[in-house]
């Protein structure tokens, strides 16, 4: 998914697209329908890096200009050089901290269970600052982090204070929300809704500004 496809005016606020009760209900129904479709596939979806990243990218793109957990999302950027990254770090989140310092936060979803794949990924992630990043945010299911003895040695190293990576647990409910939002966006014509209507719904229902996953990511940008 390209962020351009979902781009809204950076000056837009929820008051620009106040939904009528019928329109709000229409969007709510669209979310409920897509959520029910996704629920039976959620276990498999937890390992789908590409779709989770697309859902998170979409939600973060709609949160540009919003201050969440005291940090403001300024913009999203691709990771350069892309050839060296090979899609490992999903995107860059540029945040403005309360100190007025801009932080380039790399977002990396790492749901893989194969130890060899995780080890190879973490080895590459150790040099995340080479991609113009100040900090790295690693998203992974908690149950894949519980047995430290089974983790590749480079993963604890990546999260050590001297390297400075941040770990955020990726919960099933978070993945379900991201994928539901992505599905509504992709099926918007079928549901008879627009980008602006989806945005207004997310803002009126405070599904972005009070989203625990996005909050945790922006907290990670500050440490």
- Residue 195, pLDDT score: 94
In a domain, 157, yes or no: yes
82 within a domain of the structure (yes/no): yes
Strands of 50-173 (E only): list them.
67-68, 71-77, 91-96, 102-109, 135-140, 165-169
Q: What is the pLDDT of residue 9?
A: 40
Q: What pLDDT is recorded for position 112?
A: 87
Q: Which domain does 209 fall in, by range?
A: 28-220
Give the residue ranges of the chain where pLDDT is below 50.
1, 3, 8-11, 14
pLDDT attached to residue 18: 83
| Eight-state DSSP code of residue 55 | H
Helices 195-204 and 49-62 meet at what angle, rounded to 10? 80
In a domain, 17, yes or no: no
Number of domains comprising the chain: 1
8 Å CB contact between 49 and 173: no
Give me the pLDDT at residue 10, please. Answer: 42
Residue 66's CB is within 10 A of a number of other CB atoms, namely 17
């Amino acid at each position: 998914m390209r962020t351009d496809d979902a781009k809204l005016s950076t000056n837009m606020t929820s008051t620009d697209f106040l939904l009528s009760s019928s329109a709000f209900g229409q969007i709510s129904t669209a979310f409920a329908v897509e959520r029910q479709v996704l629920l039976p596939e959620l276990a498999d979806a937890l390992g789908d890096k590409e779709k989770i990243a697309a859902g998170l990218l979409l939600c973060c793109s709609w949160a540009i200009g919003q201050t969440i957990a005291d940090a403001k999302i300024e913009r999203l950027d691709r990771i350069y050089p892309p050839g060296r990254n090979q899609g490992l770090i999903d995107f860059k989140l540029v945040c403005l901290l309360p100190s007025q310092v801009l932080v380039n936060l790399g977002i990396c979803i790492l749901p893989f269970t194969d130890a060899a794949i995780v080890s190879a990924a973490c080895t590459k992630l150790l040099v995340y600052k080479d991609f113009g990043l100040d900090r790295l945010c690693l998203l992974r299911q908690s149950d894949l982090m519980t047995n430290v003895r089974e983790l590749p040695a480079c993963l604890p190293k990546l999260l050590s204070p001297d390297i400075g990576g941040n770990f955020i647990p990726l919960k099933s409910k978070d993945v379900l929300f991201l994928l539901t939002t992505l599905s509504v966006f992709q099926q918007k014509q079928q549901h008879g809704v627009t980008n602006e209507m989806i945005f207004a719904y997310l803002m009126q229902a405070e599904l972005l500004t009070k989203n625990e996953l996005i909050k945790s990511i922006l907290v990670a940008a500050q440490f």
